[in-house]
Structure 1
Amino acid sequence: MLRVQKISLLVLFLLIGQFLSAQVKHLDVDSFQKGLQQEGVQIFDVRTAKEFNSGHIKGALQADYLKQEEFRERAKYLDKNKPVYVYCLGGGRSAKAAAWLTENGFTNVVDLNGGISAWKQAGKPVTGNTVNEKQMSISSFTTGLKKNKLTLVDVGAAWCPPCRKMKPLVDDWLKKHPEVSLLNVDGGKDIDVMKSIDATVLPTFVLYKNGKEIWRKSGIFEMKELDKIISTQE
């Protein structure tokens, strides 16, 4: 009897998995592009950062599906009730990512058949090719720290979901603290600087006083944490 119950549960789980997977829409290039025009759509590129920086669909957010911790962390900042349009290079990773999103409560998930390879072959536009762009030098970074007594370094990127969530909060906070200058480090390009300050997570915020680190935080946080640090500075 117990064995029958276990088999029944297994069959049930398989059927549920098939049902959820069936909820993912797989569209061709033209249909995918048309869907991107709707209000509130979220575009999710699940390739590596290097692939992303070789050119991506305008407005896309990025999370490497092969780095599950990164992927799941960044996926948390997507709105489950708004459309999510997913793509990768050829469609393999995005199909798995789309299935995961659906299984985890996202209600409208669309996968691009053939990935960005098919997108490019169809002559559709891409943006953001930064592979050959010059990155910030460590000397330029160090010089930037010396421009003000207090400097907040923001290591992030426009395509990083939690970075995008933090940006308006940081902007508002800086307006209230004109004594603090901002130094942006591009999380997809300024690799040497990131290595020099050991910033491996996006976003990472580091507060410097006279060029020396006095505070650090990675990911999402409440700005009152930074207020406490500022209040102790002369």
Structure 2
Amino acid sequence: MENLSQEKWVSQIEEDKDAVIIDVRTEDEVAEGIIENAIHIDIHGGQDFIDKLEALDKSKNFYVYCRSGNRSGQACSIMVQLGFVRAYNLEGGILEWEGNLVDLD
């Protein structure tokens, strides 16, 4: 797990053909907008959260964010425990995000 500044997080994603973006916020938070191409997996989902993580391809590179960077840091730690090799936390989360947000389809 690695904490990345927004600049580093975005530049890595742009160069990473195996990038998967995960939003671990709640449904209500996601309703306010989500980073484009992100997968929503609520960290408060308990076993459902674990099951959805386990269904992902662990060989990919995962870029995780939440509201402030705290829950996504926790999610990255959980992912490492589950055997994910590359999990990157967005420092400052969506509160410090300067890019665009889209509606979740």
TM range (shorter): over 0.9
TM superposition outliers: structure 1 runs of 4+ over 3 Å: none
Distance 1:41 1:58 in 2: 12
Kept in 2, the 8 Å contact 1:57–1:127? The answer is: yes
Residue 109 of structure 1, aligned match among 87, 93, 98 = 87
Matched, 1:83 2:83: no
Residue 43 of structure 1, aligned match among 21, 24, 31 = 21
Q: Return the letter of the residue paired with 1:109.
A: A
1:24-39 correspondence to structure 2 within 5 Å: 24-37=1-14, 38-39=16-17
SS at match of 1:110: strand
Post-superposition Cα deviations, 1:174-218, rounded to whole Å, max 9, x if no partner, equal xxxxxxxxxxxxxxxxxxxxxxxxxxxxxxxxxxxxxxxxxxxxx
- Which residue number corresponds to residue 102 of structure 2? 127
Q: Return the letter of the residue paired with 1:127.
A: V
Q: Return the letter of the residue paired with 1:118.
A: E
Kept in 2, the 8 Å contact 1:46–1:62? The answer is: yes
**How far apart are 1:124 and its partner, in Å?**
1.1
**How far apart are 1:31 and its partner, in Å?**
0.6
Kept in 1, the 8 Å contact 2:54–2:82? The answer is: no
1:1-234 correspondence to structure 2 within 5 Å: 24-37=1-14, 38-119=16-97, 123-128=98-103
Post-superposition Cα deviations, 1:110-133, rounded to whole Å, max 9, x if no partner, equal 0000111111xxx2111116xxxx
Kept in 1, the 8 Å contact 2:22–2:64? The answer is: yes
Gaps of 5+ in 2: none
Post-superposition Cα deviations, 1:40-65, rounded to whole Å, max 9, x if no partner, equal 21111000122112101100001111
Distance 1:92 1:128 in 2: 23
Distance 2:19 2:28 in 1: 24
Task: Indicate the structure whose relative CO is greater, using CA pairs within 8 Å and at least 6 residues apart.
Answer: 2
Distance 1:78 1:35 in 2: 20
Distance 1:71 1:117 in 2: 23
Count, aligned residues: 104
Post-superposition Cα deviations, 1:50-93, rounded to whole Å, max 9, x if no partner, equal 21121011000011112212211211221111100000000111
Distance 1:40 1:68 in 2: 26
